[in-house]
A and B are shown apart, each in its own frame.
Chain A
């Protein structure tokens, strides 16, 4: 059985990698219809494999769990790769934003299915008003030159707190209007129908992402001015603080439904393959387009040489902040997707030691390689979470510990032998940089061929 399982797992990993390659290849086709049909086919294949055909299911529930986890991990790791791989800011705070996204989205939907619309209303209005406040304060601050970071941070903080207060009032005021429509747990109302829940889920994920992004903006503004090592430690501190707040979410924070260290149960399991695929593709496409735009080149130039980038007229601080905020947005979305497939959130999942998982994935896949990150996320989940967990659990009770003994050893070996990551700078299909497509070279070569023939 063990050998069969091993072979099956290897086949699955190879299959997943081939699938990813095909997906990225199809996306790179110039024809728009080919792209759309290809993506739909890629979605459909897995959907069919996940469907239960009367007792036969190609991918079991265990596999589908791994698949969703891999999708969430891809989003988080891509966000970290944007921050660390492309922008060069060594961040350990990604896991904290992941946790913020997970808890925010879970709180929204949990309250919604329990007949309380305040979660969605407060978070929705809070993120929108807070975002507007941050944008307008930022515009106003552009009038001055050389405002100290502390001052702008204070102003942003005041703006965000005011927006949050207003949002809480609006939410409390509007809640009684929606409550009758929501119904109770036993007697669901109009707005609790499965279709409405899907919309609420979508909104929850997006708002969770925006909320994480806004928190990262407020946190990153002062912290990104620190040096690289200090930034790493400060973001590590952020993860620890977020985890402490999660453990005490029912005592220090006013959220009894999160149940503190006991873990939040009863989150509706709304993540389907459609949503996981949708959000993952959205993250991949947004990030690829960002990286290949002029903004993305500015982000990369900051990694290469800050002084030279500044001399070229690039807003170094702005680029760092943008990369950090977008990366955290991805982490928040990933966390929201994760929360709704697992249905149970425990602060232990978002602890200090797990916060190195996305870092390990990014380092393994290759810094500044989106393909590497995606492949490493899937490979990591299927190999370590799937294969190794099952295999090692047959070896005894110490298996989880051995897993964590093997991680750092491989990490050390990788750092010593291949510091650029397993895939290095290789990009597949869609993610390849446009400048290296062979089409343009062939255009240059044509006249030469014609001349030689003549």
Chain B
């Protein structure tokens, strides 16, 4: 990977063109044919049924923005400790379960109305939901920091694969420990939402879908949870950009990712920076978990595996270590998945996700936004 990125730099700086390798056209032709095929399927469907296409696009957006929140944790952790944190997807799952217990068991989302009956119900629901989300985020952060301290920190100087196997072990542990009956239980659990999902349809303007009523044919539907996911994801993005670029801890994170020994010499406590990175990433994964559970309304202990892996693919696609890259990569992954589900077949969605990983790594190993050996977090 480093060699390839090095050669691309040479090509930019050196004025004379490198000799093209023999038979390069075969591989390029293969991918051009593939790209034309994909574009053909998409465009023909867009022309034939634009509303259906728009509907798939919206479901892709919803997936993509959720993946974006998970991918941030992957990309930040990988940027600093060069570890694929397999357990990140399971932290996402824990976030969903914490909110489930907070809502269904402890009715935490109703505390504002219980404590201050005079405030309006709308405000109460908003405050209650935000409390639930914050609780999930805090617990996920605590969990991630514990995992980091117990499992990853002793292995920081070990071979990277040892840490990777440990990460897989932690992921397994969370999944199966969660599947015990006294923890989360192994069943699919219907998720009780802290607020009601309201859906609208777009046809000659935006109309509310009343309960028990089907939207008319050819209408594009969307729900408030989609809007919330998009807003939350963008807010997280802005917050993280601010954190990394403007604050002291952000500078410490960038310094640690750039050169750990040098950062230590400059008086940065690298261990606490790493813990902080895990905590931040896990908080966003927890947020993503709650929103994912609200959107898809069914949870179980292996919920986090595939979204986690796909978010990792998204982080690689955008350029691992780059925060905007993770965001863009996640949006592309969401669209790819939604379009595959719509136009090819639902089971092939995972195949497409991993094919994208392989193709991206072959064509551009640094990802879309990846700039090797530059500031990364």
Chain A residues engaging chain B, CB cutoff 8 angstroms = 90, 141, 144-155, 157, 222-223, 225-230, 232-234, 236-238, 240-241, 244-245, 247-248, 252, 352-353, 356, 359, 363, 398, 401-402, 404-405, 407-409, 411-412, 415-416, 419
Contact = CB atoms under 8 A, between A and B. Distances in A.
Nearest to A234: B358
Interface residues of B, number: 58
B18 to A, nearest CB: 11
B24 interface: yes
20 contacts: A90-B164, A147-B22, A150-B363, A151-B24, A151-B25, A222-B362, A226-B358, A230-B316, A232-B84, A236-B309, A237-B313, A237-B351, A237-B357, A353-B172, A401-B186, A402-B180, A407-B169, A409-B169, A412-B166, A419-B158
B347 A408 contact: no
Contacts of B164: 90, 229, 232
Nearest to A219: B358
Interface in B167-212: 168-173, 175-177, 179-181, 186
Contacts of A148: 21, 23-24, 27
A244 B350 contact: yes
Contacts of A90: 161, 164
B186 to A, nearest CB: 7
Nearest to B182: A398
A218 to B, nearest CB: 12
B151 interface: yes
B30 interface: yes
A249 B26 CA distance: 31
A409 B171 CA distance: 11
B357 A416 contact: no
Contacts of B362: 149-150, 222, 225-226
Nearest to B31: A150
Nearest to A407: B172
A157 B220 CA distance: 41
B155 interface: yes
Given A148-B24, A151-B23, A412-B151, A230 B173 contact: no
B193 to A, nearest CB: 28
A408 B351 contact: no
Given A236-B309, A244-B347, A405-B176, A153 B27 contact: yes
A164 to B, nearest CB: 18
A240 B312 CA distance: 15
Given A398-B180, A415-B165, A144 B347 contact: no
A224 B173 CA distance: 29
A145 B180 contact: no
Given A154-B30, A230-B1, A411-B169, 19 more contacts: A144-B23, A150-B26, A229-B160, A234-B354, A234-B361, A237-B309, A240-B354, A244-B347, A244-B348, A245-B351, A252-B345, A353-B172, A359-B165, A405-B177, A409-B169, A412-B169, A415-B155, A416-B155, A419-B162
A237 B21 CA distance: 30
Contacts of A157: 30
Contacts of A244: 347-348, 350-351
Contacts of B351: 237, 240-241, 244-245
A222 B358 contact: yes
A183 B124 CA distance: 76
Contacts of A407: 169, 172, 176
Nearest to A147: B23
A145 B26 CA distance: 15
A145 to B, nearest CB: 7
B23 A363 contact: no
A236 B164 CA distance: 13
A402 B179 CA distance: 9
Contacts of A151: 23-28, 30
Contact of B176 (A222, A245, A408): A408
A96 to B, nearest CB: 11
Contacts of A238: 354
B21 A411 contact: no
A216 to B, nearest CB: 14
B289 interface: no
B21 to A, nearest CB: 5
B173 A398 contact: no
A200 to B, nearest CB: 32
A148 B305 CA distance: 34
Contacts of B176: 401, 404-405, 407-408
Contacts of B29: 154
B365 interface: yes
Nearest to A244: B347
Interface in B111-161: 151, 154-155, 158-161
Contacts of A228: 160-161
Contacts of A245: 351
A253 B281 CA distance: 40
A388 to B, nearest CB: 14
A230 B361 contact: yes
B353 interface: yes
Contacts of A405: 173, 176-177, 180
Contacts of B22: 144-147
Given A248-B347, A252-B345, A398-B180, A415 B357 contact: no
